[in-house]
A and B are shown apart, each in its own frame.
Chain A
């Protein structure tokens, strides 16, 4: 990590200024939790680059209409990210490219204004073949398309991918128990539980509901974000999220920003050895989470087991500048 710090400090003038102004300059750090971090939101404000040979700038927003993040990629970082994703998903998908059913519309991967959802679908398409989109332009379920897909591919393992809420509200809620057989499917989903929690659907409820309705048991939730593509926290058999080898997680207490205890909820910081083209190696997210255990070895997994609890609370500031009332003429 000290090498990563020096790498970005030397190559990105903007990052160097941040480290100098906010972290008292570069030094050698001993503990992982001592390394400077920057908030992910900084990538919405500035295009931070540590490469002289950028191959593309990924613009991606959480949802349509939000300010997009700008992530500078070069060939090497793209390769590192791809290899990381292959290593992570290979463990559950195997080596072959499986038939791929996206619980989304094909409009989500349009070239301009890519959302995090679109970036996720695009990323997962690399692991699938015969990509099929289960939703139409209005995000309604395309029953005939799904029927065809399952008839053609349902006898062998195949991949279903989608945003957690869409998978629940569009796929699960559109069928009755036993109506569709997805027993050979491997369902990979991501995007957060906020909406589902408001409907009292926990991860455990989600899993047992899919098993009962579709006989679908291979389900993997994951946590990741566009500012750190490749560092995917994949769900283990205990329902917790595990980082890959080259990634680590620190939970910090809001306010003091000191590391929290194991079992204590705080703000998630993700440290990764992947990004060389932009200073994304130590990022403070806007998500809350808890490290539930370390090296508990559930299903043979080592490392920190993470539980994600959604976004941190936003402040509603008062003020005379009255945007809400603008429509009140």
Chain B
């Protein structure tokens, strides 16, 4: 039997309130009845005000939180609202779905903010099952929202934690939710797939994904020192933040060009990237350095890599013997490098689970054109290097504000 302490509700002062499952269900039934108009003035103002607070405290915040603050500036919210509005079919009105149940990943902790935010702006009541551990910074931001909702008399937003052992909660919360957003991992998705939502509500899944990076060889060749350094800082953000384990963190680098002409410049770029990583982050645990050594040596033994640079503790790189896909998700600074003759050659290599392709040296027109030529499944984002982890309201193929609402037709 569950004890009182199984469910913790986050309060705005940073403390937790312990409640029973019955109390939680009563709160959720109540919350469901308090939905708002999508992109309502009140909710937009709550979010924009918190963005202003975060931007003012700039120095105290991590880059991930700063991105969130930019994403939620008043002007950005107005643009998001008008974009969503203009996408509505004629004679249609968007309405909140009701109660949305969010299951963010345990470890990429900014995800829950976006997942919740877009559903909140869409007018929904929300319950977020928080990760077991979140950083003090994240908790402070969470508190700002809880406080703002409290002050507005809005009881429809709940941030809770309950342990995995309380497994029937996932089932009972699902049963009263109108939408459910599951982030992270095929195994987690499989667990939730069998748990029905209220009246067959909307399920949104974010499973395991793999991401790639595309470099135009001649562009790398022509970089001066300052440009090279700047590119390496952007590559660092893509690769090293979240230990290269976010779904959109690139794991392989495809260079359009050839080894004779470009290998030296690419090696030089990777060396600089290693230096940038040394400036910006601690040496990884010895065990992880050895794990990277094992995977790269194994790839060499199999004949899949012809050159392995394992001596840089931050970044292990392998030069692939062919552009064929050999996917590694080792993380913590592990990059496979392969060469392609032309940009189009990436297309037959793409796979169903590919998510983000970051690029440098190609025009947005040529990227748009190659993206349009890709008819198969996989790949939902093509963005410039440096933006791999920048969250977007259209993610993994879902237009999230659209998914978080239902359409009402009037004729």
Known contacts: A314-B288, A317-B245, A317-B332. The answer to whether A323 contacts B305 by CB under 8 A is no
* Contact of B257 with A by CB under 8 A: no
A322 to B302, CA, bound (A): 29
Asked if B87 is an interface residue, CB under 8 A from chain A, the answer is no
The residue on A at minimum CB distance from B206 is A320
Check: A6 CB closer than 8 A to any chain B CB: no
B238 CB, min distance to chain A CBs, angstroms: 14
Flag B327-339 by CB within 8 Å of A: 1 or 0 each. Answer: 0010110000000
Asked if B108 is an interface residue, CB under 8 A from chain A, the answer is yes
A200 within 8 A of B: no
Q: Are B287 and A313 in touch, CB under 8 angstroms?
A: yes
Binary flags per residue of B141-177, CB closer than 8 Å to A gives 1, else 0:
0000000000000000000000110010011000000
Tell me which residues across on chain A come within 8 A of B307, comparing CB atoms: 21
Least CB separation from B294: chain A residue? A41
The contact of B305 among A21, A313, A325, A327, by CB within 8 Å, is: A21
In the complex, B202 has a CB within 8 A of chain A: no
Shortest B407–chain A CB gap in Å is 30
> How many cross-chain pairs have Cβ atoms below 8 Å apart between A and B?
168
B105 CB contacts on chain A under 8 angstroms: 319-322, 325
How far in angstroms is the closest Cβ of chain A from B353?
11
Q: Which residue of B lies closest to A48 (CB)?
A: B301
Find the residue from A39, A313, A323 having the highest chain B CB count within 10 A: A39
A21 near B245 with CB under 8 A, answer no
Inter-subunit contact B287/A329 (CB<8 Å): no
Is B74 at the interface (CB under 8 A from chain A)? no
Q: Is A38 an interface residue (CB 8 A)?
A: yes
B300 touching A319, Cβ below 8 Å = no
Q: Which residues of B contact A39 (CB under 8 A)?
A: 290, 293-294, 297
B294 to A42, Cβ gap below 8 A?
Answer: yes
CA distance A39 to B286 in the complex (A): 12
Kindly list chain A residues whose C-beta atoms are within 8 Å of the C-beta of B185.
320-323, 325-326
Cβ–Cβ contact B302 & A14, under 8 A: yes
Please, which residues of chain A bring their CB within 8 A of the CB of B311? 256-257
> Is A319 a contact partner of B188 (Cβ separation < 8 A)?
no
Whether A315 pairs with B285 at a CB distance below 8 angstroms is yes
A328 contacts chain B at the CB level, 8 A cutoff:
yes
CA–CA, A286 to B292, complex, Å?
Answer: 13
Q: Is B129 an interface residue (CB 8 A)?
A: yes
- A124-170 with Cβ < 8 A to chain B: none
Q: How far is the CA of A311 from the CA of B288 in the complex (A)?
A: 12
Complexed CA–CA distance, A266 and B6 (Å): 43
Q: Are B188 and A325 in contact (CB under 8 A)?
A: yes
Interface size of A by Cβ–Cβ distance < 8 Å? 41
Chain A residues with Cβ below 8 Å from B313 are: 254-256
Q: A17: CB under 8 A from chain B?
A: yes
CA distance A15 to B243 in the complex (A): 30
Query: Which residue of the partner chain, among A311, A320, A321, A327, contacts B167 with CB atoms under 8 Å?
Result: A327
User: Which B residue's beta carbon lies closest to that of A44?
Assistant: B294
Does residue A312 face the partner (Cβ distance < 8 Å to B)?
A: yes
Hey, what's the 0/1 contact readout for B274-318 against A, CB within 8 Å counting as 1?
A: 000000000111111111011111101111011110110100001
Chain A positions within 8 Å of B284 at CB level: 315
A27 within 8 A of B: no
- List the B side residues contacting A255 at CB < 8 Å: 283, 286, 289, 313
Listed residue (A284, A311, A312) with the most chain B CB atoms within 10 angstroms of its CB: A312
B298 touches A42 (CB 8 A): yes
Given A327-B164, A328-B170, does the pair A318, B297 have CB atoms closer than 8 Å? no
Q: How far is the CB of B167 from chain A (nearest CB, A)?
A: 6
Q: Are A319 and B246 in contact (CB under 8 A)?
A: yes
- Whether, in the assembled complex, A204 has its beta carbon less than 8 Å from a beta carbon of chain B, the answer is no
Q: CA separation between A141 and B137, bound complex, in Å?
A: 51
The answer to whether A42 and B297 touch across the interface, beta carbons within 8 angstroms, is yes
Could you say which residues of chain A place their CB within 8 Å of the CB of B186? Answer: 321
Residue interface mask A15-50, B partner, CB < 8 A = 1: 101101110000000000000001101101110100
CB distance from B337 to the nearest CB of A (A): 13
Q: Are B290 and A317 neighbours in the complex by a CB distance under 8 Å?
A: no
The answer on a CB contact under 8 Å between A328 and B301 is no
Contacts of A15 in B (CB 8 A): 301
Q: Does B183 contact A (CB under 8 A)?
A: yes
Chain A residues, Cβ within 8 Å of B349: none
Whether A311 contacts B290 in the complex (CB less than 8 A), given A21-B308, A22-B297, A321-B208, comes out as: no
Contact in complex: B290, A267 (CB < 8 Å): yes
Does any Cβ of A come within 8 Å of B213's Cβ? Answer: no
- Is A320 in contact with B245, judged by CB distance below 8 angstroms? yes
A-B contact pairs, 11 of them (CB 8 A): A18-B300, A18-B308, A21-B308, A39-B294, A315-B332, A318-B243, A323-B187, A325-B164, A326-B185, A326-B187, A329-B191
Interface residues of chain A, those whose CB is within 8 Å of chain B, are: 14-15, 17-18, 20-22, 38-39, 41-42, 44-46, 48, 254-257, 267, 284, 286, 288, 311-315, 317-329
Listed in ascending order, the chain B residues whose CB lies under 8 Å from chain A are: 103, 105-108, 111, 129, 131-132, 163-164, 167, 170-171, 183-188, 190-192, 195, 206, 208-209, 242-247, 283-291, 293-298, 300-303, 305-308, 310-311, 313, 318, 329, 331-332
Add 15 more A-B contacts to A284-B290, A318-B246 (CB < 8 A). A14-B302, A17-B303, A39-B294, A39-B297, A42-B301, A312-B285, A315-B284, A315-B288, A315-B291, A318-B245, A319-B107, A319-B242, A319-B331, A321-B105, A329-B170
